[in-house]
Structure 1
Amino acid sequence: MLRLIITISCIFLLSGTAFIPSAKAVNNSSQIQPYLERVKERIIEYELDNGMKFIILPEKEAPVISFVTYADVGGANEEQRKTGAAHFLEHLAFKGTTEIGTTNYQQEKALLNRLDQVHNQLETAQEKGNSEAVKQLKTKFETLQKQASQYVKQNEYGKIVQTEGGVGLNAATSADYTVYFYSFPANKLELWMSLESERFLDPVFREFYKEQQVILEERRLRTDNSPVGKMIEEFLGTAFTTHPYQRPVIGYEADIRNLNRSDIREFFETYYVPENLTTAIVGDVDPEEVKALAEVYFGRFSRQETPPKVTEIEPSQTETREINLTLNSQPWYFEGYHRPAITDKDHVIYEVISTLLSNGRTSRLYRNLVEEKQVALSARGISSFPGNKFPNLVLFYALTAPNASLEQVSDALTLEIERLKNERVSDEELERVKTQIQASLLRNLDSNKGMARRLAEYEGKTGSWENLFTELEAVAAVTPDDIQRVARSTFTEENRTIGRILSEK
């Protein structure tokens, strides 16, 4: 029986501990660089013989540890007509193993297999239009689901984590990756090793069909019933013609409905191999103990075939593309431009441009479109969308003000972009933007969990966690000429995609 050992004070500590000075205290890069160098010196890398990587950062200020498992697989890795598999698998990764989440796995397994068979028969009957068979199979399917559910110990994985003092148990799926994370008291390192290794060594994708309905409902809320969600899906499908960034991470409705347990099992076995996993561990740990336990628990994984890589290359856009949707919504305006991946030398320049134009109330878009011209209620931008592991988009979007038109928003945005191309950014404004970027990064690194997530992400996306720290140096080196050069090459009519949400009213 697991024992409840955590106190309220320990829960408070598990929220994380600061590594570096508060973002509010940062005035320039020279102030934080010495702190970052000290952090870098404490980071230890370790790789198992099977290819799984560990990034360890000891931090003794509080008796807590944050764990992040980064799977180098996301929506972009999915096959055509099987979109949503990465996100589906994220949901199922919390369902337990042959030992966790069941009262009798052998009995449950037989029912799960029978459920799959009946589901396949039901789909066949529906395709043939055999209404009587459909009715009978639905009844049989519902009966089997009830029988299988009798063996399920609901959310047992999460209850174990919570009972043993864990907090923040969660996961996230993007176009580029899937990440799993939570924090434990420092004396629970081995328990984490056991739980995390078991769920990826011995997963059981139970309650598959129930979770399928949950995901379909999630899609209805985020996309089908959301004007902006609908536009984003259509916009990406217009801006990208070849690269899988054109597809939604949550998946198309028909694909979600057609996915089965064997599809998810195949996806898991293809991509959740040791060399595709990176774990970052930050907190009160002994690196030698981490290494020893990693060998015991994750060393059980055998080296597998290298997963297939995304090979599609988006061709250069040669003319402006447009997508217009008439919906029950206030008018929205979207404008996107293709840009290179995070590993490109100009990546930080796009970060600077996006921050300059759209970060907060001091940004150019807010000041000019919202405050001065009053053509928009909000105006923002994203420097990398829908991901940044591969060439992606700089995206700008604005909610039109009640007495303004989409054309006025478009004109005002174009004016700011042309200004960026033709006028040098002042040293004062550029320094302010650099400080904002530095402060934003510091906020992300100001806790165990934040540091662990960033270390794992940069290792997975760029090939080295050290690029997280060199990015700050690169930001400090950006010049007005760099901004002008990138703006002129990127913000062209032939590289532009426009999206408009037109009001039905």
Structure 2
Amino acid sequence: MKKHFYTLLILCLSISAIPLHAQQVPVVETNLSNGMRVLMLPRKDEPMISGGWVAHVGSANERPGITGIAHLFEHMMFKGTPTIGTTDYERDLKIIAEQERVRELMRDEEKEMRAMYRRGEIDDVQKPENFTPRYRELEKQFAELIKEQREVLVKNEFDKIYTANGGSGMNAFTSSDMTAYFITVPANKLELWMWMEAERLLRPVFREFYAERDVVFEERRMRTESTPLGKFAESFESIFWESHPYQWPVIGWPSDIPAITKAQADEFYATFYAPQNITLILVGDFDPQQAIQYAEAYFGRIPRGKKDAPDVVTLEVKQIAEKRMYAEAEANPQVDIMWHTVPFGHKDSYTLRVLAQILSTRTGRLYKGLVLGPQIATSTWSHPDHRKWAGLFNIGGEAKESFTPQEVEEAIYEEMEKLKSEEVPPEELQKVKNNFAASEYRKLSSNMSILMQLVFYDGLGNWREINEAGAKIQAVTAADVKRVAKEYFTKENRAVAVYTRKKGASEKEPAPTKTSETTSN
């Protein structure tokens, strides 16, 4: 019996040492006549199709004065078309034109209020009590126009049409590098999906363009201003990035959101929502040949943009000294550290993903070294963030009662020094690689899961990573891990945020959203 046990043990160890590679995803790639890329993956598992498209534009493509415009478009793309979202399109257009006229007059008053702010006559241009009399009058006129427009609006008609036809999970997101829209529909509704999505690209109507700012501000309030660390995290990010557009939040600066004009929006849309800047993605039960015919018939109608979207040309300057931020917050004491690393697709990004996995999860070094061992932290986290144009690596931990964030910080550095001075043991490295391989396999379990991977990879610049990243991760060596630890995790390359409890704050504040369970992507 013991002999059989050891035979089985040796067999298991041998299997675990074999590099695991996820199966290849047979994506079909083609281009429409107007330059729009199409990615297709037929799967006959169920009679459903997950469809989406990604516009290669995010907050990094903005500039000061119009920050938040990419995210605003995520909202506007659900407002409909000449035939969806209204009961009277002609009246709708007249109201929109009148809204723009009044808004132009309001912008003149906003300019005057900014001048008053610079002279010290008012303390905040967004406080209602500081509005000029003329602005208040125009605001009432605009409110009446909004009320009039709502008489002809059909709210959420886009979603209602999809839901009535068996669609589910309609959603969208905006990041620093991309904006994506997606839904799952029955296989026999593919043509409906093609028409709906093509229509909102070909003939969008930006209803409630100005009124939607209130929705965006509420989103900002909930996600940033009303959370214990939201505003601090936003400030920390702007400190971390010196020259790169990543320094402003995806949702935009509060003063920019209401200042964006319809003319600026039209220019932004023409540049970044042109077909040659969009990738159409289908995963599910469909015939590729028929899908291409539909795509050309509907999406092919959209004229190619007059000019290609420009690259982000401002690179992050090399950091020359450590940056530190100290803040009192209504949260548990903790430390958050970020290092500058590399963008998506860089040869070192795969090693950094492996390094993050070595540190994170309940079996990782940070949890063992800070939570289980000396018990100075209640939670830890570690993850890389390889964006399209630049990257960072984030490590942090929440201090246990009677310990300080500074002690947690020093313990983190001790763990990093071990990675710099000693190679990771083969069995530890192989375990991490096996976890990556298993995770890749699990991500192929559903149409939507595969779709989101293709959206993510294509949005960052190379959809083929869905097939190529696995092998690159399996090729990472212990020497690679040691090398990147020494190269990127230096004092002068990092920014540190130290959070202490605000005086008078409750001892039972909710923990941060990051936990020791966080794994690398």
Q: What TM-score, normalized by structure 2, do the two folds share?
A: 0.87
Provide the rounded CA distance (Å) in 1 between the counterparts of 2:248 and 2:220.
13
Which residue does 1:483 correspond to in 2? 481
Deviates more, 1:228-237 or 1:84-93: 228-237
Which residue does 2:79 correspond to in 1? 95
Provide the rounded CA distance (Å) in 2 between the counterparts of 1:493 and 1:32.
36
Which residue does 2:405 correspond to in 1? 406
Provide the rounded CA distance (Å) in 2 between the counterparts of 1:259 and 1:337.
33
1:462 Cα shift?
3.1
Which residue does 2:302 correspond to in 1? 301
Aligned residues: 471
The amino acid of 1:57's aligned partner reads: L
Provide the rounded CA distance (Å) in 2 between the counterparts of 1:345 and 1:65.
34
Which residue does 1:23 correspond to in 2? none
1:57 aligns with 2:55: no
The amino acid of 1:225's aligned partner reads: S
Relative distance call for 1:450 and 1:29 in structure 2 (3 A) is farther
Which whole-Å deviations, capped at 9, do the CAs of 1:381-433 have from their partners, x for residues lacking one? Answer: 2211xx51122110112222222101111111111111111111111111111
1:338 aligns with 2:316: no
Provide the rounded CA distance (Å) in 2 between the counterparts of 1:484 and 1:126.
55
1:494 Cα shift?
1.0
Correspondence for 2:50 among 35, 44, 66: 66
Which residue does 1:315 correspond to in 2? 317
Deviates more, 1:472-481 or 1:392-401: 392-401
Provide the rounded CA distance (Å) in 1 between the counterparts of 2:379 and 2:269.
41
Which residue does 2:67 correspond to in 1? 83
Which residue does 1:110 correspond to in 2? 94
- In the alignment, is the contact (CA less than 8 A) between 1:29 and 1:476 conserved in 2? no
Provide the rounded CA distance (Å) in 2 between the counterparts of 1:399 and 1:282.
41
The amino acid of 2:108's aligned partner reads: T
Provide the rounded CA distance (Å) in 2 between the counterparts of 1:266 and 1:211.
19
Provide the rounded CA distance (Å) in 2 between the counterparts of 1:97 and 1:145.
18
Which whole-Å deviations, capped at 9, do the CAs of 1:240-283 have from their partners, x for residues lacking one? Answer: 11111111111111111212333222211110011111111011
- In the alignment, is the contact (CA less than 8 A) between 1:240 and 1:246 conserved in 2? yes
Which whole-Å deviations, capped at 9, do the CAs of 1:182-228 have from their partners, x for residues lacking one? Answer: 01100011001000000111111112233211111111222222232
Relative distance call for 1:451 and 1:488 in structure 2 (3 A) is same
Which residue does 1:17 correspond to in 2? none
1:45 aligns with 2:29: yes
Structure 1: gaps of 5 or more residues? 1-25
SS at match of 1:208: coil
1:30 Cα shift?
5.3
The amino acid of 2:496's aligned partner reads: I
The amino acid of 1:396's aligned partner reads: I
Which residue does 2:500 correspond to in 1? 502
1:478 Cα shift?
0.8
Relative distance call for 1:31 and 1:437 in structure 2 (3 A) is closer
1:284 aligns with 2:285: yes
Root-mean-square deviation (CA, aligned residues, Å) is 1.7
Deviates more, 1:127-136 or 1:138-147: 127-136
SS at match of 1:227: coil
SS at match of 1:399: strand
Which residue does 1:11 correspond to in 2? none
SS at match of 1:233: helix
- In the alignment, is the contact (CA less than 8 A) between 2:68 and 2:257 conserved in 1? yes
1:439 Cα shift?
2.6
1:295 Cα shift?
0.9
The amino acid of 2:100's aligned partner reads: D
- In the alignment, is the contact (CA less than 8 A) between 2:20 and 2:474 conserved in 1? no
SS at match of 1:394: strand
- In the alignment, is the contact (CA less than 8 A) between 1:212 and 1:256 conserved in 2? yes
Which residue does 1:134 correspond to in 2? 135
Correspondence for 1:474 among 472, 480, 495: 472
- In the alignment, is the contact (CA less than 8 A) between 2:396 and 2:409 conserved in 1? no
1:204 aligns with 2:205: yes
- In the alignment, is the contact (CA less than 8 A) between 2:19 and 2:474 conserved in 1? no
Provide the rounded CA distance (Å) in 2 between the counterparts of 1:393 and 1:131.
44
Structure exhibiting the larger radius of gyration computed from Cα positions: 2
Relative distance call for 1:485 and 1:69 in structure 2 (3 A) is same
SS at match of 1:214: helix
- In the alignment, is the contact (CA less than 8 A) between 1:83 and 1:256 conserved in 2? yes
1:467 Cα shift?
2.2
- In the alignment, is the contact (CA less than 8 A) between 2:406 and 2:498 conserved in 1? no
Q: What TM-score, normalized by structure 1, do the two folds share?
A: 0.90
Relative distance call for 1:431 and 1:418 in structure 2 (3 A) is same
The amino acid of 2:96's aligned partner reads: L
The amino acid of 1:502's aligned partner reads: T
1:320 Cα shift?
0.6
1:127 Cα shift?
4.6
- % of aligned pairs identical? 37
Structure 2: gaps of 5 or more residues? 1-14, 114-130, 504-521
- In the alignment, is the contact (CA less than 8 A) between 2:344 and 2:391 conserved in 1? no
Relative distance call for 1:254 and 1:140 in structure 2 (3 A) is same
1:28 Cα shift?
7.2
Which residue does 1:261 correspond to in 2? 262
Provide the rounded CA distance (Å) in 2 between the counterparts of 1:353 and 1:474.
14
Which whole-Å deviations, capped at 9, do the CAs of 1:30-60 have from their partners, x for residues lacking one? Answer: 5554xx23x32xx211101211011111111
SS at match of 1:99: coil
Provide the rounded CA distance (Å) in 2 between the counterparts of 1:125 and 1:242.
32
Relative distance call for 1:99 and 1:365 in structure 2 (3 A) is same
The 5-angstrom pairing of residues 333-372 of structure 1 reads: 333-358=335-360, 360-372=361-373
